[in-house]
Structure formats: structure tokens, C-alpha cells
Chains A and B, each alone.
Chain A
Amino acid sequence: MSETGSKSVFLNVPYDSAYEALFATLVGTLVSLGQTPRCVLEVRETGQGRLERIYELLKSCGVSIHDLSRAGRTARFNMPFELGLACSFALAGKPHEVLVFDTIPYRLDRTLSDYKGRDPLLYHGRVDGLVDCLADVFQTSPGPSPDVLKEEARIIRKSAREIVKKYGGSLFRPAAFRALVAASTRQARGSGLIQE
């Protein structure tokens, strides 16, 4: 059992519309577990020092989640780059846990052979599978059951659809992300999962 002491989880995930339901599930479940979801949507896209700001944000989190399920389908290298940054913390002995998610067994052995020996958490592309993975890895006291987490995530996904309508058709905007976190904290507080 490890304990990072941090209450923040860095999310390194694909920002495409097909991932919105999974993103809402991740954010909603993490908030239900009393964790602050952090991601690069909080960091300005332009300007000097972006890399440093991403580094500082990642460093402030005790855990990072890297969903490599889009491996081989993107020309952007930001995600594996951020995984490398996170691994550097862990390898340097910093209190940082790296979690890699994927949907296909053994694929990572081919796409990221340097990471061999640490199998990813497989969620099979399902929102409930994602919640199961988080419930398997994280332990809170007292902790909600996976069924409770799934119901909370379902409500947050529904909220996310309304947020997408309001915030320019995408969940992956800074304001939409904040609205999603606000809705998640509101829901988790109402369900008695976290304190005011």
C-alpha cells in the first residue's frame, strides 16, 4: 500500500469528442473519491513557459493517470511525453504514482516496450470499466462502493452533456472543465461522499 499524501490526480488523456464520456467519468469518480482532477486544460495553450507550467502542475499531483488507448492513432506526442515526465518523478524517488490505462491487452508491450513489466489497467473502452479500475487502485476511508461510484459517474456524464451544450460544444475547454469539476463536487457533496 502506498500513500502519496497528495489530494490531486493529474489526467493525461486524449482530448477528442469520443473521449468526453470517459473524461466525465474520470473527473466525477475522482471527485467522488475526494481527489482534485488536474489537467493541461488549466494551462494556457500559448505563451512561454508552458512546459514549465505543465511540469509544475504534474509535480503538484501525487498520482497521474495516463490513458494510452489512442496509441498509434495520433500524430501528437504530448501524451507519451507527459507520461515520461511523470515516470521521471517516480524514478527519482518522488512520491508520485503513475497509472497507465489502456483498452487492449498486451498492446503496450509493442507501442511502449520501455514500459514493459508494468501492465496497464484495462477498462475495455467502457465507462464502468474505468470506474472499476479506479476502485481497484484507490482506497479511501470510508470509501464508496464501485456501484455508488458508477451511479455518481452516470449523473456527472449527464451533467457533462449539458455543459458541452453550454460551453461551445466541447468539454475540453478550460471553462467547461471547471464547470465539470464544480458539478462533480456539488454532486459528491450532495451524496455525502465529500465534505463541504
Chain B
Amino acid sequence: MSKSISPSATVGEDRVYPLRTGKIRLTKATASEINRAVGVRPSEARFAERLIRFVINPDADKSQVSASPKTATDKSAVKKKPSPSSK
């Protein structure tokens, strides 16, 4: 639970009046409920999974993140090996 607040509480130097009713008690939704309500598609969910993995671990292959779910499987998204002649 976050800290309680009174009408005379402050943020910085300013007083905060949260609401006439004070704190709002929330009922938690599940991840599935949230995604369903907003209309998250499976491809967006897969993208989010790779994205968060990358954000948590930036050493992961970035091409897996920046490419869209569709293009991630495209041949163009695959890193080309340098040809011997280019050395």
C-alpha cells in the first residue's frame, strides 16, 4: 500500500488535495483482462515480449526487437555474413 495522504500533505513545496473522497481503492485486473480490453493482438504481445527482454537485457540481439513480428522472419532481417571479397 502506498503512503497515506492528508489534505495538508505536500509534494515538494505544494500542497496536494487528492480528491474529495480521498484515496481510491482499486480492484486489480489481470494481464489478460487488460490486453483483451485494449484489443492487443497476438503479434503485438509477441513483440512486447521480445521488447521487454531487450530492455531488461540490452546485450540481446537488437534485430530481434527492432524488426516487426512479421519482418523478424523475413530474409531481409537476417544479418548477412560479410563476403570474403569485402575484407
Chain A residues with a Cβ under 8 A of chain B: 1-8, 31, 33-38, 42, 63, 97, 99, 105, 118-119, 121-124, 129, 132-133, 135-143, 145-146, 155, 158-159, 162-163, 165-166, 175, 177-179, 181-183, 185-190, 194-196
Contacts and interface: CB of A to CB of B under 8 A. Distances in A.
B77 interface: no
Contact of B28 (A118, A163, A194): A194
Nearest to B49: A186
A162 B67 CA distance: 10
A135 B9 CA distance: 13
Given A119-B17, A139-B26, A36 B1 contact: no
Given A34-B26, A35-B26, A178 B31 contact: no
Contacts of B45: 182, 186
B37 A183 contact: no
Please indicate which of the listed interface residues B5, B48, B49 has the most CB atoms of chain A within 10 Å of its own CB: B48
B31 A119 contact: no
Instruction: Give the 3 A-B residue pairs with the shortest CB-CB distance, closest first.
Output: A34-B28, A182-B48, A2-B21
Given A7-B33, A129-B11, A185-B34, A2 B25 contact: yes
Given A38-B37, A155-B52, A122 B11 contact: yes
B31 A97 contact: no
Among B18, B28, B30, which residue has the most Cβ atoms of chain A within 10 A? B28
Nearest to A175: B44
Contact of A182 (B2, B44, B56): B44
A129 B11 CA distance: 8
B31 A189 contact: yes
A158 B56 CA distance: 10
A194 B34 CA distance: 10
B52 A165 contact: no
Interface in B1-30: 1-3, 5, 9, 11-12, 14-30
Contact of A166 (B3, B35, B68): B68
Given A2-B19, A122-B14, A178-B44, A162 B55 contact: yes
